[in-house]
Structure 1
Amino acid sequence: MRVGFIGTGSMGSILIEAFIQSGALNPDQIVATNRTIDKVERLAASYPGLRIAVSNIDVVSNSDMFFICVRPGDYKAVLAEIGETVHPSQILISITSPVLIRHLEEQARCKIAKIIPSITNYALSGATLCIYSDRMTVEDEEVLENLLSHISAPIRVSEKYTRVSSDLTSCGPAFLSYFIQKFVDAAVQETGISEQEATQLASEMTLGTGKLLTTGGFTPEAIQKRVSVPGGITAEGLRIMEKELRGMFNHVIRTTHAKYEEDLEKLEAQFLNTKVD
């Protein structure tokens, strides 16, 4: 199987490196290109055998499936460029939430999938959200999910819930790390513990909590109940958090959805009246 990548920025390079490091793909199974070609050259230098494509069309011409890893505003131009090259048997995989399945179907005569990866995939962990076009067969879906399972837990979601699902799995690592950073900063400021030591403690705590929530079978609420006792220190800390954080996450989700709707509106205008017959 030959896998292509159009775009090797932050997420494109994470996917490439994760696939190689997990053993899901060998470097010589990958062909990639980027607007700034030296980014691909650095990947090829790290992973001998990875082929540098000279154009987006070159990627499509030499792939069984290909990932489009560009900014939402660049999709229209990329799809217009590769439209005549794409073959119906190929699988086009978008990694961008506001680019809808119907946008892609209108522009390309091939099988369509949308996945939302996460930075956690770099650690061969976390989730990858999967949304499929009706053009995908059961076998196609199995092939893609088998590939993704080497670096993540593939989870099928409704496109209707792409944004909120992405908030939890893709934006979530940034939100959670911000919380941890502020927790560490407060510990340093209030007690004098070193930042290095506090960060190590908080990082190990985060790893352990993640295991409790996955393989350990705990729910978030169950962990709170097990750690907290009435009138205890943890209970007092939770009381303060309940008071201070009330409504904050609702505000975060409303804000991410507002930005998503803004991006979607821009894309709708771009894709209007440009369907492929």
Structure 2
Amino acid sequence: MKVGIIGTGNMGTILLEALITGGAVSPSDLMITNRTKPKADRLKQVYGDITVENSPDEVIKQSDIIFICVKPLDIISLTKEKAPLFSREKCLVSITSPIQVPWLEQLVDSSCVRIIPSITNRALAGVSLFTFGSSCKKHWKDTLWEMFSKVSVPLEIDESIIRVSSDIVSCGPAFISFLTRSFIEAAVAETKIDEDTATMLSENMLIGLGELLKQKHYTLPTLQEKVCVKGGITGEGIAVMEQEKGELFEKLFRATHKKFADEAFHIYKKFNS
């Protein structure tokens, strides 16, 4: 089975690296292309057996599964333009949330799936979000589910919660990284600790926290209860956080959902043009 990736930007590259590292796809079965070809060539320098093609046409023609990892507005243009190449026996996979699978099914004859990966998949961890098209063949459902089980926890998700699920799974690592960086900067500003030490301590704290949850020693609520002794220092810090956070996360979700709605509107207009 040949797997194609169109677009080797951040997520396209992470997807490729995860699939190879997890043993989901052999490099010799992978073919890639990118608008800026040197980006694709650099990946071949690392994974010598992959094939770099000069155009999406060659990738689509020679692949059984085609991951489209370009910008959302470009997906519609590319899919419309290359529609005759997406024959019935192939499977088209989009990795962007604003594009609904039924839109793709109206453009091509192939099976269509949306899979939203996460940067955590690079560590063979985290969740990947699945939405199958109504006409997607069972063979492709099973194949992709097995493939992504090697790099993540695959989860089929309803369209009504696709954005918030993406916020948690895909955007979440960036949000947590921002909060952690703010935590480190405050520690450096308010105490005598240096940035390198604070960063090392914070990174290893996050790794340890992840292991506690992974090994199911605690849930998030029970973990907080264990650390936050009544009348203790942690409790004082939690009290400040409760007082200061306000509607931070509510506003975050409002902002991401608004951006999502705006993108989906413009994409839908392009889809119908």
Identify whether the pair has TM-score above 0.5, normalized to the shorter chain. Answer: yes
User: Does the Cα contact within 8 Å between 1:4 and 1:63 map onto a contact in 2?
Assistant: yes
Q: Does 1:96 align with 2:96?
A: yes
Asked whether the 8 Å contact 1:33–1:53 carries over to 2, the reply is yes
Residue aligning to 1:156: 156
1:45 is aligned to 45
Provide the C-alpha distance between the structure 2 equivalents of 1:199 and 1:121, rounded to a whole number of angstroms. Answer: 23
1:108 CA drift (Å): 1.0
For 1:120, give the aligned amino acid.
T
- Counting aligned pairs with the same residue, the percent is 39
Q: Are the aligned partners of 1:57 and 1:81 in contact in 2 as well (CA < 8 Å)?
A: no
Partner of 1:79: 79
Which AA in structure 1 matches 2:107? Answer: Q
- Determine the C-alpha separation between the residues in 1 that align with 2:267 and 2:77: 12
Displacement of 1:217 in angstroms is 5.0
Aligned twin of 1:67: 67
Give the partner amino acid of 1:122.
R
Matched letter for residue 201 of structure 1 = L
1:269 aligns with 2:273: no
Task: Indicate the residue corresponding to 2:202 in structure 1.
Answer: 202
Q: Secondary structure in 1 aligned to 2:98?
A: coil
Q: How does 1:115-264 map to 2 (within 5 A)?
A: 115-216=115-216, 218-264=218-264
Q: CA deviation at 1:57?
A: 1.2
Q: Structure 1 CA distance, aligned partners of 2:186 and 2:142?
A: 46
Q: After TM superposition, list the pairs within 5 Å mapping 1:102-121 onto structure 2.
A: 102-121=102-121
User: Which secondary structure state, in structure 2, belongs to the residue aligned with residue 84 of structure 1?
Assistant: helix
**Do 1:56 and 1:81's aligned partners in 2 also have CA atoms closer than 8 Å?**
no
CA shift for structure 1 position 215 = 2.6
**What is the deviation of 1:84?**
0.6
Give the count of matched residue pairs: 273
Partner of 1:7: 7
Q: TM-score, normalised by structure 2?
A: 0.97
Deviation at 1:266? Answer: 0.1
* Counterparts of 1:162 and 1:200, CA distance in 2: 34
Shift of 1:14: 0.8
Q: Which moved more, 1:103-112 or 1:169-178?
A: 103-112
Structure 1 unmatched runs, 5+ = none
Deviations 1:145-189 (A, max 9, x none): 111122111111112111000000100000000011011111111
Shift of the alpha carbon at 1:124?
Answer: 1.4
Q: What is the CA-CA distance between 1:138 and the residue it aligns to?
A: 3.4
What's the Cα RMSD here? 1.2
How far has the Cα of 1:9 moved from its partner? 0.5
